[in-house]
Every structure is written in C-alpha cells, then in structure tokens.
Amino acid sequence: MSHLYRVISAVLLLFTVMTQVSAQQLFKGKIIDASTKEPVQGATVQCNAGCLCACATGSKGEFEFKPKRNCCSSVRISCIGYQPVIFDPGSSSLAPITVIQLQQASSEIQSVVVTANREGVRRSLAPVAVSIVSSRTINETRPVSVDQVLNKVSGVYMVNLGNEQHSMSIRQPMTTKSLFLYLEDGIPIRTVGLFNHNALLEMNMSAVKSIEVIKGPSSSLYGSEAIGGVVNFITTAPSAIPVMKLSVQGNSIGYKRAELQTGFTLGKWGIAVNGYYADKRNSFMEFTDFHKGTFTARVDYAFNTKTLLSNSFTYMDYYSDMTGGVDSAMYINKSFSSRHSFTFRKVLAKRFRSTLTHAWNENSKSTASLVFRNNLIGQNPAYAVKDDFRRTASGEWKGQKDLAHGELNEATFKSYVLILQHRQKLQWKESALIGGVSADVSPSSYSAEYIRINRDSVSGKYNSYRGQDSLLTDYHNDINNYAAFVNFETSPFNKIRLVTSLRYDLFRYNFNNFLPPSSYSGAPDSKNQFNRLSPKIGFTYNMSARSGLYANYSQGFVPPQVTEMYKGVKVPDLAPSVFRNYETGGWWELVKGKLTADLSVYLMKGNDEIVSMRLDDGSTQNVNAGETTHQGVEWGVNANPFKCLNIRFNGAISSHRFDTFHEKGLSYDGNEMNGAPRWMHNAEAWYRPAFAKKLRVGLEWQKIGSYFMDPTNSVRYEGHDVFHFRAGYSWKAIEVWMNILNITDSYYAYTASKSSSGYNYTPGEPRNLNLGISYDFANFLRKTR
C-alpha cells in the first residue's frame, strides 16, 4: 500500500512540475520603429502587473520574455523617445515571432540625441539647445525641400532660394556666410574652408530618418563653422522587416518626383537603398527649371553582437536654372519673368563612408570611420552678371547699355578623411569620457573664365554670351585639417550633470596659382596655417524627472575661407573669426503626457569677423575688423489636450547688431544687421481622429517678422505670414497625401535685400496643391502589430 502511495505521489509531483513549466510560456518578439521599421534597441519588456518579470531588446530589436509565474496576462513595452504600449501575448499567434511597432513620442524632453556629444545622450542630460525633427514629422510632412521640415524648429529659418538652393538663419541673420555646419551621421558634408551655402541640396532626403539641430557654437566637438548651429542628418539604417516603398508626387506649379525606399535584414547582413528623381518644368516663375537624381546605398555587416561594419555610398546629380530673383519693380508688379536665359548651377557629388564599431564591453566602445568625398560645382552664376552701363562713384552713368560681364566657373575637391573615436564609461560619479582624432586631406581646384554677355538695352534681358579666352581665376589648393577632441561628463552631485569638451584644430592651406601676378586674380603662391583651441563647459540640473535647467559657455571659430584668402591680387593676413556664447535654459513637463515646454536664452559675441575694407587707392582687401552681438530667446511648447490632437508652437525673439563694422568705406556701427527679423515662429496642429486611426490632418503657420534689407538700415521688408494644410491617409500598403501650401495665396518673399546694385527679392511660391501616393510592395511579406 505504501508503495502505491509513493507512486501516486510521484505522479502528482511530476504533473505539478509539468504544469508549472508549461505555464512559463516563452514569448518571442521583435520591436521596431513604426516610421522607419528599424529595430529598437534597449526597449524594456516587463510584466504590466508590476512584478519583476522583465527583459530588454538587443541590437536587432528582438526579445525573449519568460514570466516567472502566472501574473503576466499583459506586457508593457517602453523605450526612451517612444510611446509605451500594452501588449497581450495571448492574443497573438507567436509563430515564429511577433513584430511590435512603437510610435515616436511627440515630446523631445526624454529623447536621445546623438549630436550633443557625438555618441548619444538623453536630451535632459545635454546642456545645449537641441531640437529634433523626427522621422514621424518628416513622413507626415512629406516635404518637397528640406526647409519645409527644418523651419519647424524654434529659431531656425532656412531660406528657400528655389530648387533646393538655400541660405540659413540660426542665431544669425539670413546669410550665405560660413556660420553653419552641416553633418551627415555626424560627419561634415563638405570639407572645411570650402563652405557652400547651398550644401543641403546635396542631401538625399529619402535616406534621412531624422534631423538634429544644435543651436549655438559647437566647435569644441565638431570644429570650424559650427557657429550659429549644427544640423545633423541621421540616415536610415537597414530595416528589421522588409520594406520596398515606391512613391510618386507632383504639384500644380510644375514639380514632379518619384522615390524609392527599400531595406531589409537577412542574418548578419542589412541592406538599404533609398533615392529619388525630381524634375520641375514651367513653374510660376520663368527660367526656374531643375532636375535632381540621388540615391544612397547602405550595407551593414554584423560580425557578432559587439562588432558592426557599416558602409554607405551617396550619389547626386543636380542641375538648376539660376534666375537670380527679381528687382523691386518686378516684385511690386508681380512680374515673374526673368532677365536671364542661360545662367545655371550644376552639382555632382559622391560620398562614401565606412564605419567599424566595436563594443569591448558594456562600458567601452570604439569607432573608426573612413570617408571619401568627390564634389564638383559648375556655374554660370546670375550673381556674377554685371551691367557695363552703371553709375560711377561720382554719380555719372558710363558704359555700354547692350553689354554685360559674367563668368563660367568650376570648383572641385576630393576629400580623404579618417576619424577615430572611443567612449569609456567610468565607475566614478557616473562619468564618461569620449575622445578622438581626425584627419581631413582635401585637394581642391577652382577656375573662372570671363564671358561677354549680350544685353537687350530695352528689356534688360541677357540674351547670349561668348567666351573671351580670358581666365579670371585658376588655382589649386591643398586643404588639410587635423584635429583632436575630448568630451568629459560626470555627475559630481545628485541631479547635476557636468559636461565639458575641448578640441584643437590645425589647418594648412597650400595655394598654387596658375595665373601670373598681373591677372585679375594674381595672388602669389603661398602656404598658410591656422590653429584654434575651442572649449565648452556646461551643466544640467534635473529638478525632477519632469523638469530641468541648463547653462553653458562655448566658443566657435571660422578660419578664413579659401575664396576670402586667394581670390584677389594678394594674400591678406587673416586670422580665424571667433564667437563666444553664453546660454541658459530649461525644459518642463507641465502636465504629464499633455503639456511640455522648453526655453533657451543666449548672448553671443563675434570678434575678428572678416570684412572687405576699401583702401586709399580705391581697391578692397579682406581684414579681421568686424564685431557683432547676437542675443535672443527661443522657446517651444507642445500640447496634447486630447489623444487625437497635437499642438506645437515654436518661436524666437532675437536681436543681431553690428558693434564695429566698416566695409568698403561705409560704417555700420550700432546698426541692426540686415536680414535679421526680430520675431519668427512656426505653429502647427495635427488631428488624428479615433474613428479613422490612419487619417491625419494638419495646419501649419509660418511667421517671419520685419527686418532691414540693407546694413545701413534705410529700408525694411515688412515680413509675412504663410499657412499650409496637410492631410494623409494610410490603408494597408497604400498611403496617399495632399498638401496645400500657402493656402491663403499670400504674396511674399522668401528673402529681400538691397545693395548698391539695387533691390533683390526671391518670391515665395503661390498657393499650390501637392498630391502623392506610395505603395509598400513588401507589405505582404510581413505580419506586424
């Protein structure tokens, strides 16, 4: 009997154990970004009942969740920068794996930003004014050009000069000067010393998943030209699930575009190919046709969970008519004819990057990047066309009315770049050290040929031109930039994060002129060297998880550009321009999940700015003689009063003044800088109704205040208000959208200026309708939640 009892007891025990084992069901899944379809690393999967059952996703976004007991009827998934979701494992067929998509959070406060320290840090721990244009914002805006998303950032006004050409205003007036640094995945798009205000037309926006904007000097991390701001375009990585989207769109003023976005991961390989072809014909303004073809191919290979090799190649071919804006009479009369018929800009750009990343352990990571750039810009520029018949200094009119002068020029460079970087977490005070070195060797060439232009003396149109076998400029320049940088972060006290960084840059120009000293540009062969040590120090004080303050001091610098050094008859003795910035601000979650705000206040002083000084003999020479003051307040408010409604308001009040500025015989001391609106803001509301979850409707308001059109402060542009309407709807693999830009048909100018040669306006686009549709051919291959 006792033997039978033991057998029954053993069977019951075995049954109980098997029951408990079977209850511990293993849930497998993959978590991805709903917009980019990229894997989300570091997401937390935990029991929603509050027990200790939890796990985190790896580099591929995958997880295995095994509850310790029967308490996990639902699972909460959360990650910094995303909206948390509650997932019911029992409602899913887990064969072979469940894919869960996370929506990006509308608030930036707890987002991770890469640009702030070159590695990635939570927004609340970065003592800088930083804004993020998320992939969700880009996808819902469906921008035709970069300015349509970048201008949503407080204190940023990217000036649309037509056909993706642009100038910029970030803590500076609207300007074409080298005061902004443009990055792609943390690496400059162009080499130092060869700044081009149109550099962002070289971007492939179909390969961009987000944009980070650091406002104020960041030379301590990224080197020269990072003065008004740093704009970093983060490109799309291979998607965790197959994606193959084809989209087409067009608007009512001649613009057409076809776009391809693909990506997938297969084993250790990840591949993404993104590109588009855009074309514009017969727009509202004469002589503004253009076309652009670009693609980016990225191939990643994961040797293991610690080592990744990422390779990307971008190619772009661009051509645009260059109309050159309109004068005051044409602007007043709403005449959109062009005096030009042959001016153009063409750009051919190639970029290759190979980055090897290795994580030695949880506290140590190294990266090595090799970069190659090959760039050509050819122009028959409208800005170089000068009438022969014009007023002299004495007030007399002289010259031929049917003659004008211009040039054909071509600038090329190649870059060979090496960047080494290491991040080390330290045990003391939650400290971290990031350091590295870089070398950029960029041989460049520039040539300009004089052309004689036939001008209609009655209509003023420039009809034709012919070369004169006369070179205005012809030189070669080797540009070398060597740098070392370090960034140290620590928490010496509770709630306080101290961040300091330092960078040393050495520049060498080796100029070789192919023209004799008697030429128009006869500067002698020379070797010039510049160096600069750039510091930055700041701290954050997080009063709670929902509020924080920050302050920083930083320096930025700009070495003389190649064109400022060598485009003349002699080489001037120039030094880098230096900018010192003092800044404070904060961020607050005023109502949890409903209302957030951020604020920045800054004062920046510029010294040794390069100006063109008129000499006693009537000639001009570049000298370090300019001093300016820039100050302002920037803010952003984000409200979610209802789950289906999001309201955003970003704005800036600023003042930009000449302290000491004498140029070409004129003094601007104490004047407001031209092209510097005191007030600008961008407000937007999005409505996503609960009864139609895939529908979105948005209204945007762009405000640019009045500003002086010239440095003598003689005339103002009164500013403008522009409204845009956007709507989109997704159904399975199809998405359609409709954008009505400038819905009130406001008549305005993107930019307006006055100089000795007269007034110049770049007319804004009239009301236009943009329609688009996309289809994801890979949709049938996947099953997602």
For the chain, give the longest Cα–Cα distance: 130
Residues whose CB falls within 8 Å of the CB of residue 67, separated by 6 or more in sequence, listed in order: 24, 25, 27, 47, 53
Which among 263, 362, 271 is positioned nearest to 309, based on CA atoms?
Answer: 271
Each residue's pLDDT tens digit, 399-441: 899 999 999 999 999 999 999 999 999 989 899 999 999 999 9
Two tokens, residue 482:
């060597």
d(CA 640, CA 592): 10
φ, ψ at 585 (rounded to 5°): 180, -170
Looking at CATH, the fold of the domain delimited by 112-232 is given as: Ferric Hydroxamate Uptake Protein; Chain A, domain 1 (2.170.130)
CATH topology of domain 23-102: Immunoglobulin-like (2.60.40)
Burial of 2 by CB count in 10 Å (0-12 exposed, 13-18 middle, 19+ buried)? Answer: exposed
Q: Which CATH architecture has domain 233-391+401-781?
A: Beta Barrel (2.40)
In sign, the C-alpha dihedral spanning 315, 319, 324, 330 is: negative
The number of helix segments (H) and strand segments (E) in the chain equals 6, 47
Phi, psi of 58 (to 5 degrees): -90, -165
**Does the bond joining 535 to the residue before it have cis omega, within 30 degrees of 0?**
no
What pLDDT sits at residue 17? Answer: 43
Name the E strands within 281-384. 290-302, 307-321, 344-361, 364-380
Question: Of 68, 66, 56, 74, whose CA–CA distance to 27 is shortest?
Answer: 66
Pairing of strands 98-102, 27-33: parallel
DSSP strand pairing (75-78 vs 44-47): antiparallel
Q: What share of the chain is helix, strand, coil (3-state, %, to 5)?
A: 10, 60, 35
**What span, in angstroms and rounded, lies between the C-alpha atoms of 15 and 360?**
46
pLDDT of residue 69: 61
Which residue type, as a one-letter code, is found at position 49? A
Residues of 108-122 as b/e, b for ≥16 C-beta within 10 angstroms?
bbbbbbbbbbbbebb
For 537, half-sphere exposure in the C-beta direction (CA atoms, 13 angstrom radius) is: 0
Q: Which residues contact 281 (CB under 8 A, 6 or more apart)?
A: 254, 289
**Residues sharing a CB contact under 8 Å with residue 623, sequence separation 6 or more, in sequence order:** 572, 574, 610, 611, 613
Tell me which amino acid residue 744 is. T
Please identify which residue in the block is written with the tokens 């969700």.
136
pLDDT of residue 20: 45
- Write the CA distances from 246 to 250, 263, 653, 782, integer angstroms: 14, 12, 41, 17
Alpha-carbon distances of 74 from 27, 43, 209, 273, rounded to whole Å: 11, 16, 31, 37
Instruction: Output the DSSP codes for 114-137.
Output: STTTSS-EEGGG--SEEEEE-HHH
What ranges do the domains of the chain cover?
23-102, 112-232, 233-391+401-781
Q: What is the pTM of this model?
A: 0.92
Contacts 24+ apart (CB under 8 A), 509-514: 509/193, 509/477, 509/478, 509/479, 509/562, 509/565, 510/477, 510/478, 510/480, 511/475, 511/476, 511/477, 511/565, 511/566, 511/571, 512/475, 512/476, 512/477, 513/474, 513/475, 513/566, 514/474, 514/475, 514/476
Determine the pLDDT at residue 102: 83
Written as one letter, the residue type at 456 is: D
Q: Which residues contact 35 (CB under 8 A, 6 or more apart)?
A: 104, 134, 135, 136, 139, 209
CA 333 to each of CA 160, 287, 329: distance values in angstroms, whole numbers, following the listed order: 21, 18, 6
- State which amino acid sits at residue 34: A
Q: Residue 752: which of 166, 154, 200, 327 has the closest Cα?
A: 327
| Buried b or exposed e, range 282-297, using 16+ CB within 10 angstroms | ebebbbbbbebbbbbb
The confidence score (pLDDT) of residue 23 equals: 45
CA–CA dist 448, 635 (Å, integer): 45
What are the Cα distances from residue 421, in Å, to 120, 364, 437? 13, 11, 7
Predicted confidence at residue 115, as pLDDT, reads 81
Helix (H) or strand (E) holding 386: strand 386-387
Residues of the chain scoring pLDDT < 70: 1-26, 48-52, 67-73, 89-97, 106-110, 393, 614-619, 780-785
Taking the C-alpha atoms of residue 34 and residue 784, their distance in angstroms, rounded to an integer, is 10
Per the structure block, which two tokens stand in for 568?
């003349």
